[in-house]
Amino acid sequence: MPIVRSKKIEVLFSAEEIARRNRELAEEIALSDLKNLLVLSILKGSFVFAADLIRALHSAGLAPEVEFISVSSYGAGTTPGELKLLRDIDTDVAGRDVLLIDDILESGNTLRFTRALMLERGARNVAVAVLLDKTMKHKGDIEADHVGFDCPDHFVVGYGMDVGHAFRELPFVGVVMGEA
């Protein structure tokens, strides 16, 4: 078990498993009828997954444009599920196929908000790819079109995902086990 910053991290999905799954996901995505594809990575958690997935998409024969968006929950005192746009794109999405990429689908608020925004702006189709799906945590109607792995109900880190800004650099997805 690797020891990082005095915490033990138990590996949940190894770098090799993730790489294999990314290739499968890209093949699956390439089977959809995608034209003028725009990949939209939701910062910050999805940046590592997005970086690997776009290269797997290239190997699967796709040539997406890539953009980044940043959304965040409002603080206390506002409606749960209400989100604000921290960083927008200036790319015109009208008539385009958009593939939203996020690290984890939990309540679904992030993806529901971003999906609605792209449809409102006239995207032809919006599909969703997530590395991890916490199906037991979904709130309301939200499904990802492409899912890397079903995720158990643990807080996970690594492969772009953080706790308190730490552990994004880990090449695998793991669970923090406490002090070493």
Binding site for Mg ion (CB under 5 A): 45
Q: Segment 139-168, which members bind ligand IMP (CB under 6 A)?
A: 155-156, 161
108 binds ligand IMP (CB under 6 A): yes
Look at residue 107 and give the partner it binds from Mg ion, ligand IMP, none, a contact being a CB closer than 5 to 8 Å depending on partner kind. Answer: ligand IMP
In which residue are the tokens 């308190």 written?
Answer: 164
Kindly state the number of chain residues that form the binding site for ligand IMP, as judged by CB under 6 A.
13
Least distance from ligand IMP to the Cβ atom of residue 18, Å: 15
Q: Do β-strands 65-73 and 83-87 pair in parallel, antiparallel, or remain unpaired?
A: antiparallel
Q: CA–CA separation, 94 vs 35, rounded Å? A: 12
From candidates 106, 115, 146, 167, binder to ligand IMP by CB under 6 A: 106
52 binds ligand IMP (CB under 6 A): no
127 lies in the site for ligand IMP, by CB under 6 A: no
Pick the closest to residue 156 from 173, 132, 180, 135 (CA basis): 173
> Which amino acid does the sequence have at 63?
A
The answer to the question of residue 71 lying near ligand IMP (CB under 6 A) is no
| Of 18 and 130, CB closest to Mg ion | 130
Q: For ligand IMP, give the closer residue by CB, 73 or 91.
A: 73
50 closest CA partner among 58, 59, 37, 39? 39
Q: How many CB atoms lie within 10 A of CB 50?
A: 25
d(CA 122, CA 51): 26
Burial grade of 119 (CB within 10 A; 0-12, 13-18, 19 or more):
middle
Q: Segment near ligand IMP (CB under 6 A), from 3-11, 57-65, 97-105, 114-122? A: 97-105
The smaller minimum CB distance to ligand IMP, of residues 57 and 105, is found at 105
Q: Give me the residues that bind ligand IMP (CB under 6 A), please.
A: 45, 102-110, 155-156, 161
